[in-house]
Amino acid sequence: MRKLDHYKFRVFKDHIMRFLVYLSLVLVLIPLFSILYEVVKRGISVISLDFFIKPTPTVGEEGGIANAIQGTFITIGLASLIGVPIGLMSGIFLSEYNEHKLSVIVRFFNDVLSGIPSIVIGVFIYTLIVRSIGFSVIAAAFALAIIMIPIVTRTTEEALKLVPLSLREAAIALGLPRWKIIPTIVLRSARKTVVTGILLSIARIAGESAPILVTMGYWRWWFAGLDRPVANLALNVFIFATSPFESWRALAWGSALVLILIILGINIAVRIIMREKSW
């Protein structure tokens, strides 16, 4: 009889726990879905062909976000061009030259860097670059690159460390020097995870607005050179959302929707890469 009670109590506890887990799941999903719902509902109404091919409107005109999409891609592209190689290199260094005296220091500063607020990085670039060459794509790209570097470094290091010792030993025993083994065996085995880390870092910087604001400022025109500013999706959201015109506020929702779709697209790409066969 006592045994049975015990059992019932356990089943009861199990139900309670399960209920709590489901409850927290719902609590997590509510904000996510309400944001998505709101952005899609309001954003979708402005989406039209014109929205994608016309640049930022002036007062009283119709317009779109073509220049902001262009600017976002150029800025992110340049940031990746700067940040990805550096992050990759330091990730490789941390994983493959772990015994090196510097690796402790590099790892420490990388961790510190990943904790610095992006606005601080923006201000740093402001004093370093903006004050000499002005608000520009290049300044914004450097700020975003600095945000990317610790993410790429960390994910690359983790990915490379997962490559089994047996594969490295097989390569060493073939009489191959380390600098040849790293790109051909180690990076190649880990490339799915490395690419995933890079994509996630891109998704991370795609929505940054604060560092862009202090390095490039808000700009309503097309790309006109790396030493000039360019329009940007995240700043579109920021500027238009608080504007007095109904049509401009709609543009903000449209920009937000496109931005979310870009980031969602990157995340889906990551899923597909991770699911694909490993070689």
Residue 185 DSSP code: I
Residue 245 DSSP code: -
The answer to whether 87 and 156 are in contact (CB under 8 A) is yes
DSSP per-residue string spanning 111-133: HHHHHS-HHHHHHHHIIIIIHHH
The contact set with other proteins (CB under 8 A) reads 99, 164, 166-167, 169-177, 180, 184-185, 188-189, 191, 278-279
Q: How far is CA 107 from the centre of its chain?
A: 21
**Please, what is the minimum distance in Å from the beta carbon of residue 180 to other proteins?**
5
Distance CA 11, CA 110 (A): 47
Q: Which is nearer to other proteins, 31 or 175 (CB)?
A: 175
**Please, what is the minimum distance in Å from the beta carbon of residue 194 to other proteins?**
13
**Please, what is the minimum distance in Å from the beta carbon of residue 92 to other proteins?**
17
**Please, what is the minimum distance in Å from the beta carbon of residue 103 to other proteins?**
13
**Please, what is the minimum distance in Å from the beta carbon of residue 272 to other proteins?**
18
Length of the chain: 279
**Please, what is the minimum distance in Å from the beta carbon of residue 192 to other proteins?**
9
Question: What contacts 258, CB < 8 A, 6 or more positions away?
Answer: 43, 65, 69, 233
Q: Which is nearer to other proteins, 45 or 184 (CB)?
A: 184
Q: Which is nearer to other proteins, 59 or 165 (CB)?
A: 165
Q: Which is nearer to other proteins, 99 or 246 (CB)?
A: 99
Q: Which is nearer to other proteins, 32 or 165 (CB)?
A: 165
CA angle 159, 91, 81 (to 5 degrees): 105
Residue type, 264: L
Distance CA 138, CA 78 (A): 8
Q: Which is nearer to other proteins, 77 or 183 (CB)?
A: 183
Work out the end-to-end distance of the chain between its first and last CA atoms, rounded to an integer number of angstroms.
59
